[in-house]
Structure 1
Amino acid sequence: MAVFDARILILCKTYPSPSGKYTETSCVAGMDESGKLVRLFPVPFRLITKDQQFKKWQWIEAKVAKARKDHRPESLTIKVDTIKSGDVILPEKEWAERRRLITKIRLVDHFDAIEAEQQANQTSLALLKPGRILGLDIVPVADPDWTEYELAKLEQEQAQGGLFDAKDKPAIRQLQKLPFDFYYRYECGSGPSRKEFRHKLVDWEVGALFLKCQQRYRADWEGPFRQQLEETLPAKDLMLLMGNQHRFQTQWLIISLIYPPYQKQAELF
């Protein structure tokens, strides 16, 4: 595959969550300068831990190529040793620059449109504006601790392409597995087109919020956690970055939450 230079604004990092045979490790996704959504994989674990070298809302430059084993049109293999981290677009700018950039991405208002586009063109990333967030489901996982199989799977997948060596194993084993899965229930459309959907949240920020609430509030973590996801974020102009799974492309996940404040209406007089 031809290698080319890309400049990408990072919009998504998913929390690593190996589970069973069809495991996918952390996905990084973003947009290029034209607004085209792209997926970067594999990204070394050490780049997306606490000491990450790039973060959400940061521009990076790197050499990339179309992924050979992943035929989804947005999937790119990144040449890790070519990554150059650029400017971070900070929220202190009242989200103006962030909003200007994401308006380049096609925004859909119904999940049915995402499914139709996937069936027609095999697209695997989309930006969705839900009509209404109905609630958050919190479901305990079967095993709250990493199994040896899961740890081995993480280490094996991060070793692909020589991206991982033995010195990184302690960092992988220190990653805390989330004891719950989180699902948004939301509504799209109105009248005859109104439908309810339920999709799993795998955004790294959601996992980090859970760990922060658990550390701060201990047994009472659920109240503040729910307040943020059921009240604070839905009160903003919340958008869901959706991505499907490689092996099961009809199964979709919420891979990132994008939540600019609502724009103030211009005064008429």
Structure 2
Amino acid sequence: MEKIRKERILILAKTYPSPSAQYVETSCVAGISQDGAMRRLFPVPFRMIEDGQQFRKWQWIDVRVEKAPKDHRPESHKIYVDTINCGDVIDTKKAWSGRWEWLEKIPAFDSYDAIEATRRADGLSLALLRPKRLIGLDIFKARNPDWTDEEREKLLQEQMQGNLFDEVEERRQVKQLRKVPFDFHYRYVYDTPEGEKERRHKIVDWEAGALFWKCRESHGTDWEKPFRAKLEEDLGAKDLMFLMGNQHRFQDQWLIISLVYPPRAFLI
């Protein structure tokens, strides 16, 4: 049995909590270890995921982890939050050269079908997808604009898993967490031997939720125009990739857990 060990992990994904659908895990933090192994880390309190708090995407952390005993996906590890030490953030200088070094170590695919085939064969549950073409963004109203009592209880249960903080503090954190009242999905095209296919996947990257609140605060009810401009036009003009993660209970269900958008390399 694997022991608790210390690892250096580059954070690549922080997702906005989404406990409403039965197959959606409450939240996900994922990264890559210094030796190139993908890691899904939990439980991580919301206060450590939010923008400006504790650690960011593209930041190194040193932390003690162990293989999650109840989650058999190879990448899933229990994290000891009280052992986290935050390190350097890899910047975007020189056309993302520092980040590309690590992106190239992630299992990468040009086809969603190939990701799913590899999952069935090898248990893969974290992968990078490079769509051939982005079609657009679909926005749907969430079934409930605010957390239901059941959702709040799910959120609280997740927070209490680590037993690091008292219940009063965790209830305060859950109460402060705002639910995004919309669901966002990217539609995209990829190639297969039979020709092009189109798929749609839900975006649960914390950045998308944070962008929604920023646009809502600056534009009120007209938030959708600047939100779409960022996700469709701005990111669509870059070399947009999706870090995909599947679900513990329903492993054929995949979500976009992180948006990765280096500048596009133009040929001269």
TM-score by length of 2: 0.94
Structure 1 portions without partners, runs of 5+: none
In structure 2, the residue matched to 1:171 is 173
Contact between 1:44 and 1:163, CA under 8 Å: does it hold in 2? no
Q: 1:88-113, CA deviations, whole angstroms, 9 ceiling, x for partnerless residues?
A: 11224531211122112232100000
Question: Which stretch of structure 1 is more off in the superposition, 140-149 or 20-29?
Answer: 20-29
Contact between 1:129 and 1:239, CA under 8 Å: does it hold in 2? yes
In structure 2, the residue matched to 1:243 is 245
- Opposite residue 250 of structure 1, the aligned amino acid is D
Contact between 1:34 and 1:104, CA under 8 Å: does it hold in 2? no
Identity percentage over the alignment? 58
In structure 1, the residue matched to 2:227 is 225
Tell me how far 1:161 sits from its aligned partner: 3.1
1:183 corresponds, among 182, 185, 191, to: 185
In structure 1, the residue matched to 2:162 is 161
Runs of 4 or more above 3 Å deviation? 20-23
Question: Which stretch of structure 1 is more off in the superposition, 127-136 or 155-164?
Answer: 155-164
Contact between 2:160 and 2:170, CA under 8 Å: does it hold in 1? no
In structure 2, the residue matched to 1:256 is 258
**Separation (CA, whole Å) in 1 of partners of 2:200 and 2:30:** 21
**Separation (CA, whole Å) in 2 of partners of 1:130 and 1:50:** 27
Tell me how far 1:132 sits from its aligned partner: 0.4
In structure 2, the residue matched to 1:6 is 7
**Separation (CA, whole Å) in 1 of partners of 2:119 and 2:28:** 19
Within-5 A mapping of 1:20-39? 21=22, 24-39=25-40
Contact between 2:15 and 2:258, CA under 8 Å: does it hold in 1? yes
Question: Which stretch of structure 1 is more off in the superposition, 92-101 or 148-157?
Answer: 92-101
**Separation (CA, whole Å) in 2 of partners of 1:21 and 1:239:** 26
1:198 corresponds, among 193, 197, 200, to: 200
**Separation (CA, whole Å) in 1 of partners of 2:134 and 2:195:** 16
**Separation (CA, whole Å) in 1 of partners of 2:148 and 2:239:** 39
**Separation (CA, whole Å) in 2 of partners of 1:249 and 1:226:** 30
Contact between 1:12 and 1:203, CA under 8 Å: does it hold in 2? yes
Structure 2 portions without partners, runs of 5+: none
Tell me how far 1:169 sits from its aligned partner: 1.9
2:212 corresponds, among 210, 213, 229, to: 210
Contact between 1:60 and 1:85, CA under 8 Å: does it hold in 2? yes
**Separation (CA, whole Å) in 2 of partners of 1:160 and 1:191:** 45
